[in-house]
Copies of this chain bind each other. A is one copy, B any other.
Amino acid sequence: MQKKKIATKSSPIIKSSSNRAQPLLDAAAKLFAKKGYNETTMRDISSEVGMLPGSLYYHFKSKQEILLAVYGQAVNDLKTRLESTIASQEDPWGKLELATMTHLEAILDHNNFARVMIGVLPDKAPEIQHELTTLRDGYETIFVDIINSLPLKNDVDKKLLRLMIMGAINSTQTWYHMGDTEPKEIGREFIRYIRESTEG
């Protein structure tokens, strides 16, 4: 017989996770986004949340699991926000523009989780590379779908076009500084520089 659990109070559906697990992830995301994954130490993270290094291991069983959690949360948040944003648009090009602008706002305006998902490449944590890539792909699906629905000249390679756009978008993180052109504006321009050449 299995032990029957009478749920009195807590809901153990998701692990344990106290109220301090989230601040911990926030701190990790902030540091990963600023310095990179390998350049951030467990001591960095612990001191950011006001804990001792060893205490982190009560909440997560390894540094890799922290990165995985950050990635997961980034995908969830961004995907949801993006889908609800483009839902209002009918026109595929409009959708692409909206998606690009929203994505750029996320990675350029202090959304540390999004910045980590985009900026920390899966191969920086080889042992969980596959999981990270899967999460990333789950997000990129949005752009795949949008671009596949685009009316294009038939000599335009949709996959190559998508990789070009994503590459341009994601590399903004390396040069953008607060005070530059607004993220929204950058997104609008990027799409404009491509549309007339490829639309069919």
Kindly provide the distance from the CB of A157 to the nearest chain B CB, expressed in whole angstroms.
Answer: 6
A124 x B167 contact (CB < 8 A): no
Contacts of A163 in B (CB 8 A): 168, 171-172, 175
Instruction: Give the docked Cα–Cα distance between A164 and B163 (Å).
Output: 12
Contacts of A197 in B (CB 8 A): 192-198
A167 x B171 contact (CB < 8 A): yes
Give the interface size bracket for A toward B.
20 to 34
B192 x A164 contact (CB < 8 A): no
Closest B residue to A39 by CB, please name it: B38
Closest B residue to A186 by CB, please name it: B160
If A124-B36, A163-B175 touch, does A196 touch B193 (CB 8 Å cutoff)? no
Instruction: Give the docked Cα–Cα distance between A164 and B192 (Å).
Output: 12
Kindly provide the distance from the CB of A93 to the nearest chain B CB, expressed in whole angstroms.
Answer: 12
Kindly provide the distance from the CB of A38 to the nearest chain B CB, expressed in whole angstroms.
Answer: 5
Kindly provide the distance from the CB of A42 to the nearest chain B CB, expressed in whole angstroms.
Answer: 16
A106 CB-CB contact with B under 8 Å: no
B124 x A157 contact (CB < 8 A): no
